Structure 1
Amino acid sequence: MKKKKSSNVVKYNRWGYIFLIPFFVTFIVFQLIPLFGTFWNSFFENYRSGRQQIGPNFIGIENFKTIITSGLIWKYARNTLIMWVLGFVPQIFFSLLLGAWFSDKRLSIKASGFFKTVIYLPNLIMASAFAMLFFTLFSEGGPVNSILVNLHILKEPFAFLNDIAATRGLVGLMNFVMWFGNTTLLLLAGMLGIDPSLYEAAEVDGATSTQKFFRITLPILKPILVYVVITSLIGGLQMFDVPSVLTNGKGNPMETSMTLIMYLNNHLYSKNFGLAGTVSVLLFLITGILSFIVFKVSNEKNVK
C-alpha cells in the first residue's frame, strides 16, 4: 500500500512539472536567450553607415570604453534617478499614510473598497496616454496655464516643458499618480497581516498611534518595503514612455529629462546594435548594484 501511495504522489508531482514547462520555455526563449545575446552583441562592432552594413566585427571592450568615456551614460543615469526619486518619495509617503488609514479598524472608513479601486485605476491607464494628457494640460496654450492666468497667479503662460525643474517634476508627478495605488495595496496587504494583538498590547502600555506605527508597523513591513523599493527602482531605471512622449523623444530641455532607456532607444533607432547592447549591459549592472545596495543596507539595519 505504501508503495502505491508513494507512486501516486510521484505521478501527481509530475503534473506540477508539466504545467511549469510553458513558463520555462517562454522564459528561456524570450528572456534568457535575448539576455545572453545582448551580452554577446556588446562585444561586436555592428552598425549601419548609410546603406553599408559595418560588422559584426569582434572588438572586445571597445564599445564599453566608448560609452563610459563619453560620460553620457552617467548624465542620463543621474537624470533617471532624479525623476525616479521625485515620483517615489511622495509615492511611498502617501502609500504608507493611506495604508495606515485603511487598515485602522478604529477609523472604520466607509466605502473603503470603492476608494481602493479608485486609487488603483490610474495604474491601468497606458503611460503614453497619461503623458499625452499631461502634455496637453501643461502646454503653453493648455488649460493649466489658462486657469493660472485667469486667476492672476501668472501674468503670462509659463512654458512648463521648457523649464528643467518643471519637466522633471511633471515626469515625477505622473509616475507618482500612476503607481502609488499599486504600492498602497501592497503595503495595505502587509499591514492587514499584522497581528492585532500587538497593537492591543501597545495600547495597554500607553503607546501613541505614532509610536505604534514606527515601532510595530514599519519594522514588520520592512521586507515588503524592501521589495517595493527594489521593484520601483528597477522600474524607474527602465523609465521610457512618460518622458519620451512628454519631450518628443528628445529629453528636452537640454537633455535633462533624457533617460537611460531613451539613450538606448537612440542606438537601436540608428541601428548601432553594438553600442545598444553595451548600454543594456551597463544598465543591467547599474540596476544590480543599486538593488544590492538597497538590500544590503536594509539587512544591516535589521542586524543592528
Structure 2
Amino acid sequence: MRRKNVNYSKYGYIFTFPFVLAFLIFSLYPILYTAVIGFTDMKGIIPKPIHILDNPFQNFKDLLFDNPSFRKSLINTGLLWITNFVPQMLLALLLTAWFTNKRLNIKGQGLFKVLLYMPNIITASTIAVLFSTLFAYPMGPVNSLFQMLGWTDAPVFFLQDKTTARGIVAFIQFWMWYGNTMIVLIAGVMGINPALFESASIDGANGFQTFFRITLPSLRTILLFTLITSMVGGLTMFDIPQLFLAGGPDDSTLTTSMFIYGQAFKGSYMYNRAAAASMIMFLISAILAGILFYVMRDRDASRLKKIQKQKNRKAAIAAREGGVTHGK
C-alpha cells in the first residue's frame, strides 16, 4: 500500500540524472564546442592559441564557395542517400503489405523476416570485404560469372568506374537497411486498430484500397520516423564508403562525414574547417527535418485546430461585446 506524504517524483529525477549528465558531457558540450571551433583558426596537431577570425564566417564561406571537395562530397552524399533510400522504402512497403495481408496468410513469416533483416546485423567491415571480393579484378566471382555467361569478353574493373562504384555503395546501403525499415513498418501496421481493416473488408475494399486508404495514412508517424532516421543516417554515411573504397575512385564515393574526418584527422588537421563542415551538415539536417515534419503533418488535425481557434476567437469577441452592452 502506498504510504501517504511520500514524494515519489524525486526517484524519476534520480533515474534520469545519469542520462542527463552523459548527454551534457558527451553530446551537448561537443556540439557547442564544435560550433565555436567553426568560427576560429584552430588547426594543427600541436596546440596553439585559438583566435576568432576577423570574418567569423570565413571557414563556412571557404567550404561552400572555394572547396570543390566539400561540394563534391555534398553531391555524393545526396546521390548515395536518394539512390538507396527510394528503393529501400518501396521494397519495405511492398514487403510490409505482403506480410500483413490477412488474406494471403503467408506461412513461415518469422523465417522470412529474420532472413531479410539479417544484413542489418552484419558488421560494415565484413560487408566491405565481401563486396570487395565479389567485384574483385580480374578474378572476382562477378567477373567470372559475366564472362561465363558471355556478357563480357574481358574482366571489368568495376570498382574503378565512378558510376558503378556509386551504384555498388548505394546497393550495399539499400541491402543493409531495407530489412530494418520493413520491421519498423510492420510494427507500425500491427499497432493499427484491426477494426479499421475489418470495416474496410465489410465495405468491400480490396487490398490495394485498404493499403492506400487505411494503412499508409495510419503509418504517418512511423513513416516520419523512418524518413528522419534515414535522412540523418544518409547524411552521416561513413563506414561503407570508407571501408569499401575509401572515397574512390576519384572521390566519387566521398561523403561529407569522410570529408570531415579527413579534414580533422589527416594531413594539416584543419579542425576549424571540419567543425564548419559539421555545422553546415547540422543546418542542412535541421532544415530537411523541418520540411519533412511540415509535409508529413496531420492536416486534418491542423484544420480542426484552426477551426477551434476561430470558434474560440468568435466566442471571446461575442463575450466582450456582450459585456460592453451589459455595462451600458
Distance across 2 between alignment mates of 1:184 and 1:281: 32
Among 284, 288, 291, the alignment partner of 1:290 is 288
Give CA-to-partner distance per residue, 1:19-64, whole Å, 9 cap, x none. Answer: 111111111111111001101111111222xx87664222122211
- Per the alignment, residue 71 of structure 2 pairs with 74
Alignment pair present for 1:265 and 2:266: no
Specify the code of the residue in structure 2 equivalent to 1:62: Q
Specify the code of the residue in structure 2 equivalent to 1:228: T
> More displaced, 110-119 or 208-217?
110-119
Compared CA separation, residues 52 and 184, structure 1 to 2 (3 A): closer
Identity, in percent, stands at: 40
CA shift for structure 1 position 183: 0.7
Specify the code of the residue in structure 2 equivalent to 1:112: Q
Distance across 2 between alignment mates of 1:236 and 1:191: 25
**What are the residue-to-residue correspondences of 1:16-27 with 2, within 5 Å?**
16-27=12-23
- Per the alignment, residue 50 of structure 2 pairs with 56
- Per the alignment, residue 45 of structure 1 pairs with 41
Computed over aligned residues only, the root mean square deviation of the Cα atoms, in angstroms, reads 2.0
Counterpart secondary structure, 2:119: helix
TM-score, scaled relative to structure 1: 0.91
Counterpart secondary structure, 2:136: coil
Alignment pair present for 1:99 and 2:93: no
Alignment pair present for 1:115 and 2:112: yes
Structure number with the higher strand fraction is 1
Specify the code of the residue in structure 1 equivalent to 2:257: I
Distance across 1 between alignment mates of 2:27 and 2:221: 27
CA shift for structure 1 position 121: 1.6
- Per the alignment, residue 230 of structure 2 pairs with 232
Counterpart secondary structure, 1:257: coil
- Please say which structure displays the higher CA radius of gyration: 2
CA shift for structure 1 position 144: 0.8
Distance across 1 between alignment mates of 2:127 and 2:260: 22
- Per the alignment, residue 129 of structure 1 pairs with 126
Distance across 1 between alignment mates of 2:244 and 2:135: 10
Distance across 2 between alignment mates of 1:158 and 1:258: 22
Distance across 2 between alignment mates of 1:57 and 1:137: 50
Alignment pair present for 1:185 and 2:176: no
- Per the alignment, residue 83 of structure 2 pairs with 86
Distance across 2 between alignment mates of 1:281 and 1:63: 11
CA shift for structure 1 position 220: 0.5
CA shift for structure 1 position 272: 1.1
Compared CA separation, residues 94 and 52, structure 1 to 2 (3 A): closer
Q: Which 4+ runs in 1 deviate beyond 6 A?
A: none
Runs of 5+ unmatched residues, structure 1: none
CA shift for structure 1 position 71: 4.6
Counterpart secondary structure, 1:47: coil
The count of aligned residue pairs is: 296
